[in-house]
Amino acid sequence: MTDVSLNEGLPNEAGFGDYVALLKPRVMSLVVFTALVGLLVAPMPVHPFIGFVSILCIAVGAGASGALNMWWDADIDAVMRRTAKRPIPAGKVQPEEALGLGVALSGFSVVLLWLATNWFAAALLAFTIFFYAVVYSMWLKRSTPQNIVIGGAAGAFPPMIGWAVATGGVSLESVLMFAVIFMWTPPHFWALALFMKSDYDDAGVPMLTVTHGRKATRAYILAYTVLLVPVAVGLAFTSVGGSIYGSVAVAANLWFLRGAVAIWRRDEVAAESDSYAVEKSVFKFSLLYLFVHFGALLIEAALRLGGAS
Amino acid sequence: MSFEKVEHELHHRRSGRNIGVLVALIGMVGIVFGLTVVKVLQLGDAAKFEKFDHVARPQILPETEQ
């Protein structure tokens, strides 16, 4: 190797931060929060250090699937303005490096979670990575406008994995926590799709707003919100719920449902006249919606712990 | 023959990346070490663990009357 080859492509050389960016750190924060809640509300206590390592493994596993997604989607990322600056389309990281990092971190996180906790939690993490990288990224994303619905399952698994870390299995509580995120994803994402001018179409990714139209998207938002309500409120009647969670869930779901009905009743002319004010407010509230539900579960767990000691 | 350390511009350019890798590796060692300590402590009676040392350890066997 000569100095010439070392100096090639200097302006685009990847720093450590570019490799971290491959792991989609912003997505990771939601994964960490929901997985932590799943772990803490479970009936079995977990040693703090093992809990820390478990959450780290889940976060790294999620990051690994993000790197695999960036490797696979490098061609469409380059076309879209929002993603054109990602490390691979920007020319800082080679696609093969992202693939290598994704595969290595997937293996590392799954095996370490197995050694630290149990095989079931590790298998669930492996399935989540497979689901996001293969089922969502490689298969559904470019083939169906329902991509976001089924792909949303990948983002819904973390609280189930957290629960499995503590209990070694699955139960009604963890399935309902999964269902809350699963049902929440479509209205959350489609509310954003209504007011964000996206270039998904140029990239050949079918979006509901384009394939079925905006009117149908509004109806879908309402339909999924109606399905979400019983799941979110139902969690109040399980062992992880309680009066605080129940009150928060009823209030938040009424508010969210009201917003979904308002979106459904509007047409494009009305939406454009106020610059999508309703759609924007529902999207903002959807972020708070998930946070208050899992936050309330955490408060219930803390109260149970306080009452028991 | 000299073994002088040659400072190359590359060393400075890649220092951020190298430090990042160093921190990640030290973190990994810390995690594996910490996990080992926690797992061994969770065994309860450490003597039980010592018996799996694959080496005869007469001093940890219970005393028997001669």
Separation of alpha carbons A24 and A14, rounded Å: 16
Q: Do B34 and A49 touch (CB under 8 A)?
A: yes
Q: What is the pLDDT of residues B13-30, one digit of tens each?
A: 788 888 999 999 999 999
- Alpha-carbon torsion A255, A261, A264, A267, what sign? negative
Residues of chain B contacting residue A16, judged by C-beta atoms under 8 Å apart:
16-17, 19-21
> Residue A103's CB: how many other CB atoms inside 10 A?
16
Which residues, including other chains, have CB under 8 Å from residue A123's CB and lie 6 or more apart?
none
Which A-chain residues 49-108 have CB contacts (< 8 A) with chain B?
49-50, 53, 56
Which chain A residues are within 8 Å of B31, Cβ to Cβ? 53, 56, 112
Give the residue on A whose Cα is nearest the Cα of B31: A53
* Between B60 and A185, residue with greater pLDDT: A185
**Residues with Cβ < 8 Å from A154, sequence gap 6 or more?**
A65, A128, A131, A132, A135, A136
Which pLDDT does position A1 carry in this prediction? 45
Q: At what angle do helices A172-195 and A147-156 cross, to 10 degrees?
A: 130
Query: What is the maximum alpha-carbon separation in chain B?
Result: 74
Given CA atoms A62, A67, A71, A77 in this order, what sign does their dihedral have? positive
Predicted model pTM: 0.88
Cβ separation of A6 and B19 shorter than 8 Å? Answer: no
Cβ-contact A110, A147 below 8 angstroms: no
In this prediction, residue B7 carries a pLDDT of 77
What's the pLDDT band for B66 if we cut at 50, 70, 90? Answer: low
Q: Give chain B's mean pLDDT.
A: 80
Q: What is the pLDDT of residue B47?
A: 66
Residues in CB range of A275: below 8 A, 6 or more apart: A195
Give A110: exposed, middle or buried? Use CB within 10 Å, 0-12, 13-18, 19+.
buried
Q: How confident is the model at residue B2 (pLDDT cuts 50, 70, 90)?
A: low
CA distance B31 to chain A (A): 7
Residue A4: what pLDDT?
A: 47
Among candidates B17, B19, B38 on the partner chain, residue whose Cβ is nearest the Cβ of A49 = B38
Question: Is the CB of residue A217 less than 8 Å from the CB of residue A183?
Answer: no
B62 DSSP 8-state letter: P
| Cα of A177 to nearest chain B Cα, Å | 28
Contact A158, A54 (CB under 8 A): no
The predicted structure's pLDDT at residue A96: 94
Binary contact (A53, B31; C-beta < 8 A): yes
Per-residue model confidence as pLDDT tens for chain A (309 residues)? 444 445 454 567 888 889 999 999 988 889 999 999 999 999 999 999 999 999 999 999 999 999 999 999 999 889 888 888 899 999 999 999 999 999 999 999 999 999 999 999 999 999 999 999 999 999 988 888 888 888 889 999 999 999 999 999 999 999 999 999 999 999 999 998 888 877 777 777 888 888 888 889 999 999 999 999 999 999 999 999 999 999 999 999 999 999 999 999 998 888 888 888 999 999 999 999 999 999 999 999 999 988 865
Report how far residue A38's alpha carbon sits from residue A22's, in angstroms, rounded to the nearest whole number. Answer: 26
